[in-house]
Structure 1
Amino acid sequence: MIGDSLSAGTGDPSPGYAALGWADRVADILRRTHPDLAYLNTSEIGATTARALATQAGRMVAHDPDLVHVPCGANDLFHPQPDFAEIERALRHVFELAAGTGAELTAFTLGRSFVVPRFPDWPDRVRRLNAITRQLAADHDAVLVDMWDHPVNSRPNLLSADRIHFSTSGQAVLATEIVKALAAVLDKRQGDFA
């Protein structure tokens, strides 16, 4: 697991939900079938894609993973004028390094509830970044969870107080969607060999 606060699963608590981010929830689920699971999350709050490459990618490769979540570059959108060509180059490099490990890759797009009012073009920025993420996921046969139009976006209590990160109720939904998507891939592969 590399990336930023979204990869880390940062979020405020929700009543009735364990105080776990989506990544920790997925690791807990995987440990039920693989108790010896070695889980590494190098995510850094505030990390851009370039910073994730510089400070985390080497540890990810050295971990020799079977499963890697690839970040979607959300913090790259906070620049006054995001350079989408550079964002795509950096994300492509992350996807290539992760794919080079031989691991199964997962990624997700940003939801439409993720809004930063100080940028009037924010929805367009997110759409452009999501398009890059979708293309790179397709290019690298990654398991993609598309959160842009997911029904969870309509929950009034979805976001944390910062209005950026999912609360733990949203983290639980994201973990569920990642696990469902991984299960679908495994079912398909088993069907291919039957």
Structure 2
Amino acid sequence: MTTLYAEESDPLCLPVQNAAWLAHAPWRRFAAMGDSLAAGTHGPSRGYADLGWCDRLAGLLRRVRPDLAYLNTAAVGATVAGTLDGQLGRIAEFGPDLLHVSCGANDLWRREPDLAATERDLRRLFAGAAATGALLTTFTLGRAFVVPRFPDWSDRVRALNDVIRALAAEHDAVLADMWDHPVNDRPGLLSADGVHFSAEGQAVMAAELVRGLARRKDRDER
């Protein structure tokens, strides 16, 4: 039998009162940049607030920091090179102390993607993000979305995820590893476009980042 969840009862989500996980969070300027993953592009899910992960996280942070400044420059279809050229400058000018970076999926859509070039550009992007002085966060791509016309799609995503994991470790970023997360097995996870996580998936991604940020806050307070 398929289990249907609602946000309040979803074991992979955090109830609203668990904003307390981020009590005394130090971050006052939250930004996100990259592609549609960073933008929180999604479709609706019954029983879940119609919000992307990024707006969810900003809302939770505002519960403990009502004066939080929030900027999201992410754009649907953005490549890593496009993010470097069109978004990084705006982010640096904003001056975040918490910065999310998600990009690279659109670089995989080419008939013959240049993974070496994508890795070089991602290294530049993460270095530029780290230069802001902000704590970085990022996601790996989930396995739920496949592109049938690319038989090697899963291999492409695994290769990109390996780069993201390495860069997250290099820059001490908070990583929400979504590749093999159990949410991938849920029916109806993808939006009607067949590409992006629905509001249900967005809620789970936000929860994973909250958990990661709470762990980081606890680590830094020791």
- Alignment TM-score > 0.5, same fold: yes
Show the counterpart of 1:24: 55
Structure 2 counterparts to residues 53-92 of structure 1, below 5 A: 53-92=84-123
Q: How far apart are residue 19 of structure 1 and its match?
A: 1.0
Structure 2 counterparts to residues 31-180 of structure 1, below 5 A: 31-180=62-211
Q: Partner amino acid for 1:71?
A: S
Kept in 1: contact 2:78–2:103 (CA 8 A): no
Q: Partner amino acid for 2:127?
A: E
Say which SS state the counterpart of residue 215 (structure 2) adopts: helix
Greater shift, 154-163 or 168-177, is seen at 154-163
Q: Partner amino acid for 1:7?
A: A
Kept in 1: contact 2:79–2:103 (CA 8 A): no
2 CA distance for matches of 1:148 and 1:126? 9
Identity of aligned residues (%): 63
TM-score w.r.t. length of structure 1: 0.97
Kept in 2: contact 1:2–1:56 (CA 8 A): yes
2 CA distance for matches of 1:106 and 1:114? 22
RMSD between superposed Cα atoms in Å: 0.7
1 CA distance for matches of 2:101 and 2:121? 12
Q: How far apart are residue 72 of structure 1 and its match?
A: 3.4
Number of equivalenced pairs: 191
From the two aligned structures, give the one with the greater helix fraction.
Answer: 1
Structure 1 stretches of 4+ with a deviation exceeding 4 A read none
From the two aligned structures, give the one with the greater strand fraction.
Answer: 2
Unaligned runs of 5+ in 1: none
